[in-house]
Amino acid sequence: MTLIAAVQMAAGPQVQANLMEAGRLIKEAADRGAKMVVLPETFAIMGVTEAERVKVAEVFGNGPIQAFLSQQAKKYGVWLVGGTLPLRSEDEARVYAASLMYNAKGEVVARYNKIHLFDVMLSENQEVYTESDTTMPGNKPVVVDTPFGKVGMAVCYDLRFPELFRHLSEQGAQIFVIPSAFTDVTGKAHWEVLLRARAIENLCYVVAPGQGGYHVNGRTTYGHSMMVDYWGRVRDVLDKEAGIVMIDIDLEALEQTRKTFPVLSHRCPPKNIESGTP
């Protein structure tokens, strides 16, 4: 079995201050025995405006945020998922919200660009989000073979699209990592039920770090970073304070459950239902 940790923090507009806080929590996770640590979405910057994120965007493979992630992974001998950080795209006005995975040697082993972008208006308080104004969507699902199991990567708003997670599980995923920054409104309504649903539907562990608390830009994020097992049981959760949650991954138990409760093999694609194909 292997301990995986998820970090919860409340990022602001100062990159260096955010990296210091992330480093403190990575150390805490490593000291407590974590072999993989997952940071939340926008861990390195949550500016007053989204344009600030574009200004600090890095070229893939080079930049202070990426250097920090590599150094932290190597320093503590952990696999590290860098929540999301802004990486330059073909469009100067937009960046990729990229989630990078580093191995314990500090090497990048995977990159996932957030696919689903948060363009919504929350009618309860007229909050408006147009992530696509400054973010380029990705188009490639990613599953990574790690020493701790096969990890499917997703980010925040992706959580609302079960077809993505079904694809990841069909590609062998046993663990989903979902760095997030859910709003307080949507978090209260849907965060836990969506995480548990994705775990239950796919018989996968869910590692879900979140931003939590009040931010300089006036936004309040829900927090409640959560660890859910393959049976949909919440194993660890925070409120809104900075800290970490942890889960012990037991792949033997997961695979045994998949054998005795073979829901994944019972899936009948809609085209087969329509045609009557068994």
CA pair distance 164, 154, nearest whole angstrom: 8
Annotation says 201 is catalytic: no
Q: Do 115 and 66 contact (CB within 8 A), yes or no?
A: no
3-state secondary structure of 137: coil
The reply to whether 268 belongs to the active site is: no
CA atoms within a 13 Å half-sphere pointing along the CA-CB vector of 232: 9
| Distance from C-alpha of 257 to C-alpha of 5, rounded to nearest angstrom | 23
How far, in Å, are 56, 133, 178, 203, 235 from residue 82 at the CA level? 16, 23, 11, 24, 22
**Which one is catalytic: 50, 156, 204, 240?**
156
Asked if 198 contacts 165 with a C-beta cutoff of 8 angstroms, the reply is: yes
Q: Which of 35, 50, 58, 114 is flagged as catalytic? A: 114
Task: Report which DSSP code applies to 189.
Answer: I
> Phi-psi region for residue 153, left (φ > 0), alpha (ψ -120 to 50) or beta?
beta
**CA separation for the pair 222, 211 (Å, rounded):** 7
Q: Is 35 a catalytic residue?
A: no
Q: Taking phi first (over 0 means left), then psi (-120 to 50 degrees means alpha), and beta for anything else, what does residue 4 get?
A: beta
Among the listed residues 41, 50, 58, 131, the single catalytic one is 41
First to last CA, the chain: 38
DSSP string, 225-238: -EEE-TTS-EEEE-
Q: Which residue has the tokens 């201050």?
A: 17
Catalytic residue annotation: 41, 114, 156
